[in-house]
Structure 1
Amino acid sequence: MSKKAISVLSGGLDSVVATSVYAKEYDIHAITFDYGQKAAEQEIKVTAKICELMGFEHTVIKLPWLAKISDSSLNSNEDIPQVSNEDLDDLEKCKESASSVWVPGRNVVFTAIATSFAESVGAEIIIVGWDKEEASTFPDNSKEFLNAFNVLLDIGSPNDIEIKAPAIDLDKWEIVKLGHDVGAPMELSYSCYSGENKHCGVCESCMRRKRAFIQAGINDLTEYLK
């Protein structure tokens, strides 16, 4: 019997690459969350394609209550911030952008639910796309958060489960390199906050994606509106 894993798969570049790292070693059940975000339809569509391509079981979990308590620009009428290339290296501007798209307790909730799935099927690992570059403004992407949650699982779960974040020490361009090396279907991934059919090209997530492919020297097949 092959080893089992749960992947928290949003369909974004980071989670697609992280999951692909373990695709040959584990029988993966991917879970995708709909918490009322503007990009929910696109994220569900691309994760379904990726899971079909890679042979993963796929479950979509709706969290309407999270949408109701959140005033994030991701799942409200508030406009999503646009940033320039220069802004990506301005910590204060990135903190302001991150504050706008912050969803209360999102990774705490997602990882807790992933733990329930892992315990129920006897999975050894939970795969997440947390990374170094985004940890500077999103504390629930940091190595400290990863280590703390693994301590929590050691104490609170009767099973031997570990959260794996292969991009935890990587910047975005290094994630693209890793994705290229492991054959991740990065061309199918969807990183945009806007939820349009094509990437908007101007939100912070799109801008970081565009820069990463350029810095990595790898052809970007993503279609951007701008």
Structure 2
Amino acid sequence: MRTNLICSGGMDSVSLAHILAAQGVLKRLTSFDYGQRHHKELDYARACAERLGVAHHVIDMRAVGAVLTGSALTDDIAVPDGHYAEDTMKITVVPNRNAIMLSIAYGISAAHGDDTVATAVHGGDHFIYPDCRPRFTQAFEMMQRAALDGYADIALHTPFVHRSKADIVREGARVGTPFAQTWSCYKGGATHCGRCGTCVERREAFHLAGIADPTDYQDPEFWQQAIASKEGR
């Protein structure tokens, strides 16, 4: 198997990169600059590719991202604090982002003879992001098989789509993923803020997995308040 992994530089995709590398099937990482608020994740994706000794493609999608307006990840809109399972987090949706990125990754894989595209979407993404849900990934794979019919036979590998972020922490830890060398925070400060949805989810995942979190947070205790709010306590 030859796998092209979409890698943001976040904990989920870097963990999957190390898992695939341990299996001997990782051939390349593909990352995207879509005009996001900061590029810290891309630096971590680049470091991951160098660490694992695989090719790294960084695709300039800034012109596309500039017209995918209305998201706190691309526009001058405040990133909300709290848990992903709150309606306020819908402001972080970048419309059709995963569909666009996957299409490009499939094209790269077809051109380079890969037989698999991998993405680290997981069960915790389902509430907010429609293009992380199983219905989407299944339909997308079927569409790509039609798009490349007779030219390439490429599968879509989504090992976490029915699993939690805590599961990712456990699986990543088994293969020695350097979690400190990943970036999740949407705000892009000197350290993780500890308050945005992805920071809260990251902190909670380590707690549920029973694995020490090496991340330096500006507000390391906020996640508990966010969880309590989600659960209505």
TM-score by length of 1: 0.90
Kindly report which structure 2 residues correspond to 1:61-210, keeping only aligned pairs within 5 A, or say none.
61-69=59-67, 70-83=69-82, 87=83, 91=85, 93=86, 95-97=87-89, 99-157=90-148, 158-210=151-203
* Cα distance between partner residues in 2 of 1:161 and 1:31: 16
What's the offset of the Cα at 1:68? 1.5
Return 18-27 or 166-175, whichever deviates more: 18-27
Structure 1: unaligned runs, 5 residues or longer: none
On the 8 A contact 1:51/1:58 being kept in 2, the answer is: yes
Question: Helix, strand or coil for the counterpart of 1:22?
Answer: helix
Question: Helix, strand or coil for the counterpart of 2:185?
Answer: coil
Q: Residue 224 of structure 2 aligns with which residue?
A: none
Runs (4+) of structure 1 exceeding 6 A deviation are none
What's the offset of the Cα at 1:176? 0.6
On the 8 A contact 2:121/2:161 being kept in 1, the answer is: yes
Q: Residue 229 of structure 2 aligns with which residue?
A: none
Which amino acid letter does the alignment assign opposite residue 206 of structure 2? F
Counterpart of 2:51 (choices 53, 60, 69) is: 53
Q: Residue 13 of structure 1 aligns with which residue?
A: 11
Q: Residue 29 of structure 1 aligns with which residue?
A: 28
Question: Which structure has more RCO (C-alpha within 8 Å, separation ≥ 6)?
Answer: 1
Output one character per residue of 1:145-182: Cα deviation in whole Å (capped at 9) or x when no partner: 11111111221112110111111111111111111122
Number of residue pairs aligned between Structure 1 and Structure 2:
215
Output one character per residue of 1:30-52: Cα deviation in whole Å (capped at 9) or x when no partner: 1111111113x201211111111
Counterpart of 1:221 (choices 214, 217, 231) is: 214
On the 8 A contact 2:35/2:61 being kept in 1, the answer is: yes
Q: Residue 42 of structure 1 aligns with which residue?
A: 40
On the 8 A contact 2:123/2:161 being kept in 1, the answer is: yes
Which amino acid letter does the alignment assign opposite residue 213 of structure 1? F
What percentage of aligned pairs have identical amino acids?
28
The two structures, once aligned, show a CA RMSD in angstroms of 1.4
